[in-house]
A and B are shown apart, each in its own frame.
Chain A
Amino acid sequence: GAGVSQSPSNKVTEKGKDVELRCDPISGHTALYWYRQRLGQGLEFLIYFQGNSAPDKSGLPSDRFSAERTGESVSTLTIQRTQQEDSAVYLCASSLGLGTGELFFGEGSRLTVL
């Protein structure tokens, strides 16, 4: 597709369950980012991938969060044993390279943990 695609667009889960969120970046974009946006808050950086380099995981809030990326394509963000404070919109973005500045965002995955 032409843009960044995220799925699911909405996910409601029960506390303690695991969830997987998927991001399909723009073809050719080597950098991929995950951000979290809680209600009334700004975008909180979680993790980024740049080509085949080791990802920068410095923003992951706890060891319940992990992410993988296959080459320069799809990425999956996994949240284990979800908590109510994990409820947020999870945004994925891609760019031609790290530091180029223009991020192209997907529409986000809205996660609600009951």
Chain B
Amino acid sequence: AQSVSQHNHHVILSEAASLELGCNYSYGGTVNLFWYVQYPGQHLQLLLKYFSGDPLVKGIKGFEAEFIKSKFSFNLRKPSVQWSDTAEYFCAVNAPGNTPLVFGKGTRLSVIA
């Protein structure tokens, strides 16, 4: 069974600091990888996704993630965070085809001025 580990439960950063949120998954085959974000009071929405090709994917709002197959990782990065990035971030994985997404427990990001 697939599983997703997000190492950080809560991250607190100052504005303009760089961000990296860890995500590791356990699945030996081909996977699709995703980051979802939930801003306070809003519903979950897709931040970025990787299906194949360039392992460095860019998403909305300046976020990017790098798929490193050998490490089973898909870490989320942003060079300079803003207060508006305060949210909960979820990594998710599924095997291509008819399988539902498996989510990590989420990382809460708090950006302070």
Binding site for B on A (CB under 8 A): 3-4, 33, 35, 40-43, 45, 48, 50, 56, 59, 91, 93, 98-99, 101-108
Which residues from chain B contact A48 at a C-beta distance below 8 Å? 100
Chain A at the B interface: SS class: loop
Number of A-B contacts (CB under 8 A): 59
Top 9 nearest A-B pairs by Cβ distance?
A42-B105, A43-B103, A105-B44, A105-B43, A42-B103, A107-B43, A98-B98, A45-B100, A48-B100
Q: Do A42 and B98 touch across chains, with their CB atoms under 8 A apart?
A: no
B89 to chain A, nearest CB (A): 11
- The interface size of chain B toward A, counting residues with CB under 8 Å, comes to 26
In the assembled complex, 8 residue pairs joining A and B whose CB atoms fall closer than 8 Å, in A order, are A45-B100, A45-B102, A50-B98, A98-B98, A103-B36, A103-B44, A103-B46, A107-B42
Q: Do A106 and B43 touch across chains, with their CB atoms under 8 A apart?
A: yes
Whether A101 touches B43, Cβ cut-off 8 Å, given contacts A42-B105, A43-B90, A45-B101, is no
Q: Do B100 and A108 touch across chains, with their CB atoms under 8 A apart?
A: no
